Amino acid sequence: MVFDSLTIAGIALSLAMLLALDALLGAIGGRRQRRAVNRRLQMRADGRGSEDILTTLRRQGPDGDGSLLAGLAPVRRLGAMLSAAGVPLSPVRLALLMAAAGAGITLLLIAVQRLDPLSALAFGGGLGCVLPLIALKVAAARRIRRFNAQLPDALDMVVRSLRAGHPTTAALKLVAEQMPDPIGSEFGLVVDEMTYGMDLREALESMSRRLPSHDLHFMISAIRLQSTSGGNLTEVLGSLARVIRERGRFGLRVKALSAQARFSAWGITAAPFFVFGALKLARPNYFDGVAEDPLFDPMLGGALVGLMLGVAIIFKLVRFRY
On whether the CB atoms of residues 175 and 184 are closer than 8 A, the answer is yes
Higher pLDDT, residue 49 or 290: 290
Indicate whether 70 pLDDT > 60. Answer: no
**Which residues lie closer than 8 Å to 181 by C-beta, 6 or more apart?**
37, 38, 39, 86, 146
Indicate whether 57 pLDDT > 80. Answer: no
**In the chain, domain spans:** 5-144, 149-247, 258-317
pLDDT on residue 314: 79
149-247 architecture in CATH?
Answer: Up-down Bundle (1.20)
On whether the CB atoms of residues 179 and 157 are closer than 8 A, the answer is yes
CA distance linking residue 61 with residue 1, whole number of Å = 43
The helix or strand, by DSSP H or E, that contains position 67, with its residue range, turns out to be: none
Percent of the chain surpassing pLDDT 70: 76
Q: Which among 92, 39, 85, 86 is positioned nearest to 65, based on CA atoms?
A: 92
pLDDT tens profile 199-240: 888 888 888 888 888 888 888 888 888 777 777 888 888 999
On whether the CB atoms of residues 62 and 79 are closer than 8 A, the answer is yes
Helical residues (DSSP H) of the chain, grouped into ranges: 5-35, 39-45, 50-59, 73-85, 91-112, 117-163, 168-178, 183-195, 200-210, 214-229, 233-257, 259-282, 288-291, 296-317
Distances (CA, A) of 79 to 24, 33, 143: 22, 21, 15
pLDDT on residue 311: 80
Lowest mean pLDDT among 56-70, 185-199, 282-296: 56-70
**Which residues lie closer than 8 Å to 92 by C-beta, 6 or more apart?**
65, 67, 69, 75
Q: Which long-range contacts (CB under 8 A, 24 or more apart) does 270-279 make?
A: 272/303, 272/307
Indicate whether 170 pLDDT > 70. Answer: yes
pLDDT on residue 63: 46
